[in-house]
A and B are shown apart, each in its own frame.
Chain A
Amino acid sequence: MIGYVVRRLLSISVTFIVVSILVFIMMHAIPGGPFDATEMPVSEAVRAKIMAQYGLDQPLYVQYLKYMWGVLHFDFGVPFQSPGETVIELLSRAWVPSLVLGGAGVLIGAPLGIALGLYAALNRNSWIDYLASAVATLGLTVPVFVTSMLLILVFAVWLGWLPASGWGSPRNWILPIVAYAAIPLATYARYTRSAMLDTLNKPFVTVLRAKGLSERDVIFKHVLRNSAIPMVTVFLPMFIGTATGSIFVEAMFRVPGLGAYFVSSIESRDYPLEMALVFIITLMFCIAYFLADIAYAMLNPRIRLGGR
């Protein structure tokens, strides 16, 4: 097990280096730069000075190595769009709304989705089952910005119950959280239902019933636990997947979170901020997959103990 963890950590480091090189190259390969004439009408001499100040006049590999050296010392540089603070300071500020939005969305959507999927699987072909399928299909096919717009239209414009955008008071939080919760709700409902049905069709479930176990024990002691194995492998990474999905929700509701800065950093060629955000997302995915693999191994004795 320890050997496995060490190997995984090594592979995560390699992933990081590869991602950082790729993003660094692509970022700079896009024509234009942060201090082009269109962005900043200043004289050539001033522009050259600014470029030199940020090290942008040096060859790309030097820039990359310097940047990575800084990263190793937790120095992610200064964001071009807000030179008065460091990237870390900006992120620790922007982190909060994203965490509230993403956390609340997942904490509301995931349990509801799992409950809906469970109920649907246990009552196949009932109206709840059809409702769950409809919710899951809609939630997976309708893009989040469409749901967001609908919510704004109905609750902010027509009914006027809630504000359409902003992040000042908890009243502002409701619509984006609801819009955001729809994603985990739909995906979790769908995966839970299919994982449960898979297990319910296994012969050992018939054996459990045949030996006289109550239906409650069959479901809660055996079926749920078996269904959890395929579920964790999907759910943990999906957690992060939905977190990045909040970019659109943040943009729609003008939430000053990570997502909003992700969009603006790309638009304004804010290299240091862009790199830092890519690192954060990569790190979250790596951790999620790592945890999912560990959980899978812990839950499944066949992996945990090896074959015969």
Chain B
Amino acid sequence: MALIEIENLSVNFSSPDGQVQAVRDVSLALEEGQSLGIVGESGSGKSVSLMALLRLLPEQSATINANKLMLDGVNMLACPRQELAKVRGKVASLVFQDPMASFDPLFKIGDQLTETVLTHFDVSSSEALIRVEKMLDRVEMPDSKRVINSYPHQLSGGMLQRAMIAMALVCEPKVLIADEPTTALDVTVQAQILQLIGDLQQETGMGLIMITHDLGVVAETVDNIVVMYGGKVMEQTSVFDLFDTPRHPYSKALLESIPGQLPGKRKLKEIPGQSPNPLSPPAGCPFHFRCENADQSCIDQMPPLTRWDQTNATACLKVAS
């Protein structure tokens, strides 16, 4: 049984300007212990898909539709509130982009971590504190005694993100969902945090979903990849195939446009145009405006996700033919 099964997920947000179609017919799955990178730009629907899985989207404005939304055997679509709370943080944990904004500014880091333990385990607070201390050591937190007694504003971004990871893992979840965990950090700290997440995944055997806009991040951390664009899945593949033989024109263009790969002053290969408007997404392939290979058929119909083998699938008419 897969740990995460999402089938035909669509998410709409009501806004003053109309329905924002953030996620359109997305399917993805994660087996226990696997690592998956979800790559996409802002507005691609990559974060919203996973927030929908954990039912963390605002209920007033977000409409979720799916054939299947399963997390560790629990049907998240029909899950009552109390059951949701049991799954969150225990089966699946989240780490977000901005560590400074992720902690309650009024509570000490130690209190916020023990609170997480006490939410899911029936232990005394001193027992919870011991678990927190152990976890802080495992994330290689320097000076962890001081960190426990510090308020968020007293720590650096890198230390807070370590604490955040410790908080996410302190209840030993089956999967860690990291949503742009290094984007707000300095480059040197970024590399340290990525390595830490990779190490912890190896040690604990947990599943990992790395949501990012940065192909460099997935190249360093995960096995499988889902590339999203305009609320849709463009390509599913392994990390090796993505970098060795990218199939989808969007994946190819993304890889080629990354600056700094080659020496010498030169123009970069750029992707012309802009991302599609989520208020009125095109009926056809969302990438057709910007695609070199697009023709009338790409404008008329959304290419289905064609599966090549166990790991590879592509949503492109030009690749399929």
User: Which A residues are within 8 Å of any B CB, using their own CB?
Assistant: 124-125, 202-204, 206-215, 217, 222, 225-226, 229, 299-302, 305, 307-308
Contact = CB atoms under 8 A, between A and B. Distances in A.
Count chain A CB atoms within 10 A of each CB in B86, B115, B155 and give the residue with the most.
B115
A206 B96 contact: yes
Contacts of A229: 106
B60 A212 contact: no
A307 B153 contact: yes
User: Which 8 pairs show the lowest CB-CB distances between chains A and B?
Assistant: A212-B89, A211-B89, A203-B101, A212-B88, A210-B94, A301-B151, A211-B116, A207-B102
A211 B120 CA distance: 9
A125 to B, nearest CB: 6
A213 B115 contact: yes
Given A207-B96, A212-B120, A299 B106 contact: yes
5 contacts: A204-B104, A215-B85, A222-B106, A229-B106, A302-B153
Interface in B145-203: 151, 153-156, 164, 167-168, 171
B64 to A, nearest CB: 16
Contact of B167 (A211, A222, A308): A211
A305 B104 CA distance: 16
B103 A212 contact: no
Contact of A305 (B60, B93, B154, B156): B154
A44 B156 CA distance: 79
Contacts of B119: 211-214, 217
Nearest to A299: B106
A214 B85 contact: yes
Contacts, number: 83
B102 A308 contact: no
B103 A125 contact: no
Nearest to A212: B89
Contacts of B105: 204, 226, 300-302
B87 A212 contact: yes
Contact of B90 (A125, A206, A212, A308): A212
A214 B96 contact: no
B81 interface: yes
Contacts of A204: 101-105
B56 interface: yes
Contacts of B107: 222
B101 A308 contact: no
Contacts of A307: 153-154
B67 to A, nearest CB: 24
Contacts of A211: 88-89, 93-94, 115-116, 119, 167-168
B106 A212 contact: no
Given A206-B56, A207-B96, A213 B85 contact: yes
A70 B90 CA distance: 71
Interface in B123-146: none
Interface string B51-91: 00010100010000000000000000000011001111110
B210 to A, nearest CB: 16
B85 A210 contact: no
Contact of B54 (A203, A210, A225, A308): A210
A308 B153 CA distance: 7
Interface string B190-227: 00000000000000000000000000000000000000
